[in-house]
Amino acid sequence: MSSSGERNFALEAVFNSKEAQGLTRKAIAARSYFFVSFDLVDSTKLKRKPIWVKVLWHFFDAVTTYAKGDDFYLWKYRGDEALFFKPLDDSNDSAACVESVYKITDRLNTDFQNEDFDFDVLVKTTAWVGVVHELPPGSFDSHSNSDPAIAKENILLPFESTTMESGGSVEFLGEDIDMGFRIAEAASPNALTLSLQLAYLFLNNGRYKSKVRLVGHRKLKGVGDGIYWPVLWYSSRWASVTKKLRSKSSTKDMLQIAALDFNREISIEDLKVFISRYNLKENIERLERLAKMRPEPDNKKIASREGALLSDRSHQLHCVAVCFNSRGEVLLGRRKKKEHSPLSKKWEFGCAQLNVDIGFEESIRRDYLHDFGVEIIELCERPVKCFTVDGKSTPGIIFVAIIKDDVGPKANKHEKVLLSSREFFKFNDSECVSGFFDTWDLAQEILNDSGVMNG
């Protein structure tokens, strides 16, 4: 699992660019944001099971991998819930985000179905949007009383995390943020729950008719002065959803449903009625306008402690170590089975994720100790090569490392682990990650040239 204490360079770059223009300590222009919550169903009941820790680990590891793979940023982990966000612009529209998180939820639930658990584990997901004022670091006190826009709207408050468990380096505050959490109380593993504003943006796209339905109404505690808000669900398989939910009488109680009609498709005109009723027209117009803005080009490069130049997505940099022991054997792990993943059951060298606050070496040491139970005693300065993950733009760097011999590797994250020489490793290319044998050969050359093993 990636570290939750990592700095968010995507946002930091925005702050830095504004400060460079002489706007330090002034509120940055508002932006539209997409938020998503992935949560385990009946997590309290789950904790009565002996393997609940394994289930939670699988959930957080998988949801973080899938969400970051679709370019969502980690907001924080909260109990049994994982929260992510993404700024909206003309390259990241809300409809694409909805489709993405729906597919992620489907993958998570499929993963759990394929695991050998003696009970059902399901994930429910809620998505919403909001106009957010991004504040430069340290500016909260100066704006909380002086800027009327901040008093009535949502803010993004950046700060440095003090613990690894406290989540990312930003916090979102405001009524729209609270509304998302209240809407999540009506979430179901059978469909994706959408806020009213997000449902409007989604249907107004024009590509996704008949996929959103009004399933009931609910009072949102502390939000909207006790008004009953519409509960809107999205699914691409409504026939299956309807069949499941009609067999569960508890659904009526959970949603406080006024008219249970899962077959009624909701139109953009229906949503306009709600928007008018709840005085959200101005809010919707701002969301739409800001969501269509072109992202500002940011060519700023940020140097890590190691002196390497990283882009504003440096928090997604992967670090692979080809780990040798004193006998010249290499640490290898076979990934667990994952449906629809090109890396399912493939042999690899392991992978860490860079935490720029501690640098390359410490990030690799920490993650390999966690994933394999091995201790890295030396990391060669010369990298093997760079690569991208799954054909995406997510970058990675491969290093050579030396590990202690006193403890054998453990399969903490992989299906199987082993130490093997090139001669005795009998698996073929199709059973390994891309470029596996070329990487092994290059790593061996670098190790030989370094003279480390001869010392």
Secondary structure in 3-state letters for 46-69: HCCCCCHHHHHHHHHHHHHHHHHH
Q: Report the distance separating Cα 87 and Cα 122, nearest Å.
A: 28
Please give the pLDDT value at position 13: 40
* pLDDT tens string 135-164: 665 545 544 444 554 556 788 876 544 333
Of 324, 320, 313, nearest to 404 by C-alpha is 324
* 432 SS3 class: strand
pLDDT tens by residue, 21-41: 333 333 345 788 999 999 988
Phi then psi for residue 318, to 5 deg, are -95, 145
Rg (CA), the chain: 24
Tokens at residue 116, please?
Answer: 């050998």
Looking at domain 303-450, its CATH architecture is Alpha-Beta Complex (3.90)
Separation of alpha carbons 94 and 295, rounded Å: 15
Residues of the chain with pLDDT under 70: 1-29, 90-92, 116-119, 135-152, 158-169, 206-210, 222-226, 239-264, 293-316, 356-357, 389-394, 454-455
Contact 234/212 with Cβ under 8 angstroms? yes
120: number of CA atoms within 13 Å, CB side? 7
Q: Could you tell me the two tokens for 290?
A: 């800001």
The residue assigned the tokens 């700095």 is 7
CATH number of the 9-291 domain? 3.30.70.1230
For the chain, which residues make up each domain, given as ranges? 9-291, 303-450
In percent, the amount of the chain with pLDDT more than 90 equals 24
Spatial separation of the C-alpha atoms in residues 100 and 338, rounded to whole Å:
18
- Tell me which residue has tokens 């470029």: 435
Given a contact cutoff of 8 angstroms between Cβ atoms, the answer to whether 64 and 2 are in contact is: yes
Inter-residue long-range contacts of 106-109, CB under 8 Å, 24+ positions, other chains counted: 107/62, 107/66, 107/339, 107/340, 108/38, 108/59, 108/62, 108/63, 108/66, 109/189
- What are the distances in angstroms from CA 426 to CA 77, 240, 419, 437? 41, 45, 13, 11
Residue entry with tokens 């289930």: 55
Integer Cα distance of 423 and 166 in angstroms: 46
- To the nearest 10°, report the CA torsion of 396, 402, 407, 412: 0
